[in-house]
Amino acid sequence: MSLRRYLLMGILLPVGLLVVVNTASLYQQALAAVNTAYDRTLLASAKSISEQLDVSGYDEQSELRVTVPYAALEAFEADNQSRMFYRVSSLNGEMVSGFAQLPFWRGRIPAKPPYSALVDFYDDVFLEDPVRVAVLLQPVASSNGRAMAVIQVAETLELRTTLARKILIDTLWRQAVLLAVIALVAVIVVQRATRPVRRLSAQLQARPEGDLTAIAAPDAPRELQPLVDATNEVMGRLQHLLEHQKRFVRDAAHQLRTPLAVLKVQVQSALRGDMDAREALDEINQTVDRATLLANQMLALAKVEQLRQQADLQVIDLAQVVRSVALDISPLIAEKDIDFEIETVCAPILSHEWMLGELSRNLLHNATKHTPAGGTLAVRIVRDATHAALTISDGGPGISAELSARLYQPFSAGNVRHGSGLGLAICKEITEALGGTISLENRVVHGQVTGLDATVRLPLAV
From the first residue on, what is the mean pLDDT of each consecutive set of 10 residues in the chain (462 residues)?
76 86 84 84 85 81 74 58 84 86 87 81 89 90 85 87 84 86 85 81 81 77 82 81 70 64 79 78 79 69 66 84 91 90 92 85 88 92 92 88 64 48 76 88 86 92 80
Phi, psi of 48 (to 5 degrees): -65, -40
**Strand ranges, E, within 312-430:** 314-317, 339-343, 348-351, 376-383, 387-393
Kindly compute the dihedral angle of the four CA atoms of residues 13, 19, 24, 27, in this order, to the nearest 10 degrees: -160
Kindly list the distances between the CA atom of residue 42 and the CA atoms of 45, 46, 66, 82, 248, in Å, as whole numbers in the listed order: 5, 6, 18, 12, 99
Our CA angle for 35, 21, 27, nearest 5°, is 20
Q: Is 227 helix (H, G, I), strand (E, B) or coil?
A: helix
Sign of the torsion formed by the C-alpha atoms of 331, 336, 339 and 345: negative
Sign of the torsion formed by the C-alpha atoms of 260, 274, 416 and 361: positive
Phi, psi of 455 (to 5 degrees): -120, 130
What is the per-residue pLDDT for 420? 47
What is the per-residue pLDDT for 231? 84
Burial class of residue 364, CB neighbours in 10 A (0-12, 13-18, 19+): buried
What is the per-residue pLDDT for 92? 84
Residues sharing a CB contact under 8 Å with residue 270, sequence separation 6 or more, in sequence order: 277, 280, 281, 284
Amino acid at 421: G
Closest CA to 263 of 289, 284, 240, 286: 284
Q: What share of the chain is helix, strand, coil (3-state, %, to 5)?
A: 50, 25, 25
What is the per-residue pLDDT for 249? 67
Contact 384, 391 (CB under 8 A): no
Contact 86, 161 (CB under 8 A): no
Whole-angstrom distance, CA of residue 368 vs CA of residue 256: 26
Polymer length in residues for the chain: 462
Q: Kind of pairing, strands 376-383 and 339-343?
A: parallel
